Amino acid sequence: MDILDTHAYDRRQKRYTSCALFVSLLPFFLSTALYFYLWTPDSPGSIMSAAVKTAPALLLAAAVLSWNGGQSVLGVVGGLVCSAVGDWCLVWPEHFLHGMGAFAAAHLLYSFTFLSSNYSAYSASSSVCFRFLYLILFMIGGGFYIYIFPFLQTAPDPELLVPAVGIYVVLIAVMGALAIRSRHTATLLGSLSFMVSDLSLALQIFKATPPMEYGNALVMVTYYSAQLLIAVGDIKAVENKDDFSKWKRS
């Protein structure tokens, strides 16, 4: 009977936690809806549009900080703040390189987070499978860079863009590989969604694909989904680690 009571209590706690998490994410959902409601194609950059665009990432950072505390400042919270800086910069096309630098810093912080003790590493028995997935991921990144290389050469400031985009592709591929290593579904899906968003954005910015009617919608939907999944994955990773620590001490 005690065991049944314990399981029932655990189920109630999980339901409570899920509800509390959803409530803490409501500001993110509302700000994301506001962005898509106010967004108009080819609208000029403004302080207001930049604020609306950056709000979802900052609200996600606040939610993660409230759940995980200061330990996430140099992790997912820091990555979300860097992403917000990148969002702000990309509102104005002339600040594209600054925005890309901010997102590169975000990928570095995410990568360091996925290497932390909060995320479990793969076992030796599954290492071959994961190495195969890593290879596929880097092949996709390399193939994309080779494809987009001629378009980078004809873009403004190719001497800066060619190496900068190459470094960025490596960083996001590493981030995706470490997400695979983490074995957290939300983290993995978020990282892959981030890659889809960035690749779609690059194809459009460097005119490597014909104009897409819903190109910006694709970029932003996958981008906000990626940040949400990475944030939830980090909250769950810390929560699972704390539960495991309590179980070991009991």
Mean pLDDT, residues 86-95: 94
Read off the pLDDT band of 124 (50, 70, 90). Answer: very low
Q: What is the dihedral of CA 53, 81, 219, 45, to 10 degrees?
A: 40
Q: What is the pTM of this model?
A: 0.88
Question: Is the pLDDT reported for residue 138 higher than 50?
Answer: yes
- With pLDDT > 90 as the criterion, what percentage of the chain qualifies? 61
User: Domain segments of the chain: what residues?
Assistant: 2-249
Please report the sign of the dihedral spanned by the C-alpha atoms of residue 49, residue 187, residue 75, residue 137: negative
**Ordered DSSP codes for 185-199:** HHHHHHHHHHHHHHH
pLDDT score at 200: 95
